[in-house]
């Protein structure tokens, strides 16, 4: 899909703070996170939303979430996480490529869903920490 932001990220045409990649999925930090370590898991197969994509792509997203979420929690010291997926404009979907949000949560920190805009250097630091934890 030539005009798809996430397809361009997968191809490497647009930079991202990649956390994880396999044959079917790509995970990277959200540039407007609602929590420290908030990231997106996307299928490499383009579809506007989960019901328009293949069953295999939907399973691949959850397989990746299952694999990386506990490791992200451990390395960042999170005590929980939210999963989120917006389907359609009225649900808040802004990028029309299927994606699952993993939003780490921390004890004593109010759970909010307000976007922030950290510096790229802060995102790079968080990405480096998460990637190092995924390797162990």
Is there a catalytic annotation at residue 17?
no
User: Residue 20: CA atoms inside 13 Å, Cβ hemisphere, count?
Assistant: 28
List the structure tokens of 131. Answer: 């990637």
Catalytic-role residue among 17, 38, 97, 99: 99
Residues with a catalytic annotation lie at: 99
């Amino acid at each position: 899909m030539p005009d798809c932001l996430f397809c361009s990220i997968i191809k490497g045409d647009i930079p991202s703070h990649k956390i994880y990649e396999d044959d079917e999925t790509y995970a990277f930090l959200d540039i407007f996170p609602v929590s420290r370590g908030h990231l997106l898991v996307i299928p490499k197969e383009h579809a506007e939303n989960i019901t328009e994509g293949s069953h295999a792509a939907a399973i691949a997203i959850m397989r990746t979430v299952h694999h990386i979420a506990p490791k992200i929690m451990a390395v960042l010291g999170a005590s929980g996480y939210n999963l989120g997926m917006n389907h359609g404009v009225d649900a808040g979907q802004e990028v029309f490529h299927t994606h699952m949000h993993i939003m780490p949560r921390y004890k004593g920190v109010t759970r909010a869903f307000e976007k922030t805009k950290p510096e790229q250097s802060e995102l790079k630091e968080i990405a480096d920490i998460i990637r190092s934890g995924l390797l162990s």
